[in-house]
């Protein structure tokens, strides 16, 4: 296959879940955010940060846009990501606009996505989000196939959370996830996707964190892309602490699939069985 087609295909499959594709419609159920686009010179400057020869005029432009967004969102701390992904492999807590350059400049996730944008001629978006405290035991990844909720897994899947051993607790989480999915489906038309939530026991609805592609580019947490078919609903939590999931890896965060693949190249959409 021609290399460019490969990346075009890849982009075509991941782009529908980029934040710019759903934020406006789902604003009332997710974390307050402001966004702006970064143009070729700014994108190249961020990619060059690591080499120390970034175009400072271009960075100034981005910094001004960041300052605008920080003022709009207000607060002491912020979460800043691309529409595609965050710099969670490097740093997520941001206090001032310049911190974004530190966080983005040394994040493989950001550099890969900016490079992809350049290859497919896409102008990426940056989202500045209000900082919210998300307790690790309350974050869940929810799998939607053909418009139906088919799976929920704890997001931090290497840690045992004892409250999840209680079936009634898992039911409450599932109930909130289903309620949120009904809201998402009113506005978001993809049939297959994965959404991350922060379960809020004292509220009606969980908080929508973000949406990911339903494909092996997205970490399946306690599910397994090779084994699980997502036909019947299943809730997965770490039951037996003596059998940790994916013990060969020590990070407690979901992995980038590219790292898991081991060869730096994600599988093609076709290889993933990604629905057309």
Ligand X SMILES: Nc1ncnc2c1ncn2[C@@H]1O[C@H](COP(=O)(O)OP(=O)(O)OP(=O)(O)O)[C@@H](O)[C@H]1O
Provide the binding-site residues for ligand X, judged by CB under 6 A: 31, 79, 81, 85-86, 88, 92, 109, 129-132, 134, 139, 196, 209-210, 212, 254
Nearer to ligand X, 58 or 210 (CB): 210
Residue 72 CB, nearest distance to ligand X (Å)?
14
For Mg ion, which stretch binds (CB under 5 A), given 69-77, 123-131, 184-192, 212-220? 212-220
Contact status, residue 39 vs residue 123, Cβ threshold 8 Å:
yes
The Cα–Cα gap between 254 and 159 comes to 12
What tokens does 232 get? 């019947």
Residue in the block written with tokens 């080499």:
51
CB atoms within 10 A of CB 170: 16
The Cα–Cα gap between 171 and 135 comes to 19
30 is a site residue for Mg ion (CB under 5 A): no
Contact status, residue 4 vs residue 119, Cβ threshold 8 Å:
yes
Under DSSP, is residue 193 helix (H, G, I), strand (E, B) or coil?
Answer: strand
Contact status, residue 55 vs residue 141, Cβ threshold 8 Å:
no
Nearer to ligand X, 42 or 210 (CB): 210
What angle separates helix 97-105 from helix 56-73, to the nearest 10 degrees?
A: 120
Residue 198 CB, nearest distance to ligand X (Å)?
8
Find which of Mg ion, ligand X, none residue 194 binds, CB within 5 to 8 Å per kind: none
Find which of Mg ion, ligand X, none residue 134 binds, CB within 5 to 8 Å per kind: ligand X
Would you give the end-to-end CA distance of the chain in angstroms? 18
212 is a site residue for Mg ion (CB under 5 A): yes
Nearer to ligand X, 61 or 246 (CB): 246
Interface pattern 162-201 for Mg ion (x via CB under 5 A): ----------------------------------------
Residue 34 CB, nearest distance to Mg ion (Å)?
19
Q: Are strands 193-198 and 234-236 parallel, antiparallel or unpaired?
A: unpaired
Residue 79 CB, nearest distance to ligand X (Å)?
3
Find which of Mg ion, ligand X, none residue 81 binds, CB within 5 to 8 Å per kind: ligand X
Site residues for Mg ion per CB under 5 A: 212
């Amino acid at each position: 296959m021609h290399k460019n087609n490969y990346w075009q295909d890849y982009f075509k499959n991941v782009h529908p879940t980029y934040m710019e594709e759903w934020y406006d419609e789902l604003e009332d159920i997710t974390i307050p955010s402001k966004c702006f686009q970064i143009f070729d010179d700014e994108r190249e400057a961020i990619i060059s940060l690591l080499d120390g020869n970034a175009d400072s005029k271009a960075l100034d432009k981005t910094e001004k846009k960041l300052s605008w967004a920080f003022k709009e969102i207000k607060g002491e701390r912020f979460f800043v990501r691309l529409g595609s992904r965050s710099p969670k492999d490097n740093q997520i807590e941001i206090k001032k606009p310049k911190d974004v350059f530190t966080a983005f400049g040394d994040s493989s996730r950001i550099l890969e996505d900016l490079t992809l944008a350049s290859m497919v001629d896409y102008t990426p978006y940056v989202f500045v989000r209000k900082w919210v405290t998300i307790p690790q035991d309350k974050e869940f990844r929810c799998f939607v196939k053909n418009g139906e909720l088919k799976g929920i897994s704890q997001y931090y899947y290497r840690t045992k959370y004892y409250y999840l051993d209680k079936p009634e607790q898992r039911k409450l989480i599932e109930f909130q996830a289903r309620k949120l999915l009904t809201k998402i489906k009113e506005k978001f038309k993809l049939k297959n996707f994965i959404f991350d939530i922060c379960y809020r026991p004292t509220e009606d609805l969980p908080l929508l964190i973000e949406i990911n592609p339903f494909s092996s580019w997205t970490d399946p947490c306690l599910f397994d892309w090779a084994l699980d078919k997502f036909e019947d609903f299943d809730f997965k939590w770490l039951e037996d602490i003596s059998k940790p999931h994916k013990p060969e890896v020590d990070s407690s965060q979901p992995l980038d699939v590219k790292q898991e693949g081991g060869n730096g190249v994600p599988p093609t959409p076709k290889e993933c069985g990604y629905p057309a």
